Every structure is written in C-alpha cells, then in structure tokens.
Amino acid sequence: MSGNIKLLSDTLAAAKAEGRSALIAYLPAGFPTVDGGIEAAKAVFDGGADVVEIGLPHSDPVLDGPVIQTADDIALRGGVKIADVMRTVREAHQATGKPVLVMTYWNPIDRYGIERFTAELAEAGGAGCILPDLPVQESATWREHAGKHGLATVFVVAPSSKDARLAEITAAGSGFVYAASLMGVTGTRESVGEQAQDLVRRTKATTGLPVCVGLGVSNAEQAAEVARFADGVIVGSAFVKLLLAADGDLAAGLAGVRSLAGELAEGVRKRS
C-alpha cells in the first residue's frame, strides 16, 4: 500500500491557492492516553488544522521543550508503543481523510527496522515522516524505503544552517521543509521573528518545496504574523499545554484544542 505524500502535497498546494498558509498541528501519540490522543488529533482537524503531526514519544526528546517532554513522559509511562503511533495515524486519517505525518527521532526507527516502519506507516495511511535528528548524508536508505512506500521525508532546517547546507537538505527532502526557530523567548520576540523570516527566505531560494515554520506560535495573532512569510504554521506546545491543563478531563481538553485550532485557522487566513 502506498502512503499519502500526494495528499500532503495537494493539501499544502490547496492552501496556497486560497492565498493562505496551512495550519499544521503537532500532538504526541499516547497522550493523555492512546484513545485520548486519537480523539485530540480528530479534534484539531475538526477545528481547522490542515495537517497533523503525530509525535512518537521518546525518553530523551532533546529538541523538545518542557511541555512536550512532560506529555512524552506521560505517554511512555502509559506504555505507548510504535503500534499505538501507527493506530493513531490510521484512525486520525480514516476519520478525516486528511494528511497525518509522524515526527520522530531516528533511534526508534533504527531499532524497529526501516522497511518495517515505512511499510506500516504507509499501510496506516500516513503521509510521511519528520526526522529532526537524521543527518541528510546518512539518510539514503531511509529515503529509498520512504520513496518506495509513497511517504514524504521532511527535514528540519535552522537559522544556523548555511546556504550551502540548506541546499543540500532541501534537495534531499520531500513534502515540505520544516524551518525551526525560537519565537517567544522573553525579550527576543522581534529579532527572532526576523530571524525566522530570513530563514524562510534563504530556504525558499534553494527549493520549490513549501517551507513551514515551527516557532512557538500559540495564538491567532502570532499565526497571522508567521503566515505572512511561511507556507505553513506549525503549532504543538500550545495544544499540548491545553491537554495538560485539563488535568484528566478529556472532554475539556478536546474542547480546548478544537477551539484553539479554530482560532489559529482564522489567524493563518488573516496574514496580518
């Protein structure tokens, strides 16, 4: 069975045709429970997300902030497995018909087996994988299997990436490029926003792929700001924070993430 890279590409192209950025939501699998995580993914789609990234919880999520680390810890203590990640992708996609990716560190895939992981992700209806710590120069085997199974390989670029490195990364990737920055750090809001805009400009100079930005966006105003220069706005911690704050009240948590998705979906259409 082939994965849904085409659905992902078509979804991002449709948003562009509407003159807006896509809204991409991130949620960890298994949080607050496996079933609760599936319902959360459906809720953000229902609220207006175009794409959902399902995180594969990791015991040492070095690139994630404390909010997502807390959620990962809850998921891992709950016994979440890769099979649960695949089930989350399958049920979220089947319920909505929308593109669902997995975001994961490399070690779990390496231990699980590349062919097994890509085959199962495609069978679940997944659109691809975001691999923040897989070096491009070590990615050939992964990309071969992902391509065979119709899955996107999304690499992450950062403001520290030099132009030549950006070109190397974007040439190897597919689906979209994940541009990571740090908007929201106290006292650096304006300068970091400019840094992100510069990163998008430099990345777009190397590729025709959409460039989507993860910046710590948490409200419609910030989403509109990022939407001015990015093809997609990626939001994760703000959704996870609402589920954590619900403190076991799943209905309240789902209502919160659905509402926030609606506000953010309006924001990416405003492009302030």
- Catalytic residue annotation: 53, 64
Gap between the Cα atoms of 9 and 84, Å rounded: 25
Gap between the Cα atoms of 207 and 167, Å rounded: 7
Which residues, other chains included, contact 154 with Cβ-Cβ below 8 Å and sequence gap of 6+? Answer: 101, 128, 129, 130, 131, 173, 174, 175, 176, 177, 178
Residue type, 131: L
Q: Pairing mode, if any, of strands 51-55 and 177-180?
A: unpaired
* CA nearest neighbour of 41 among 25, 22, 56: 25
Gap between the Cα atoms of 196 and 225, Å rounded: 11
CB 51 within 8 A of CB 99: yes
CB 182 within 8 A of CB 192: yes
Residue labelled with tokens 């009240």: 249
Residue labelled with tokens 């690499």: 155
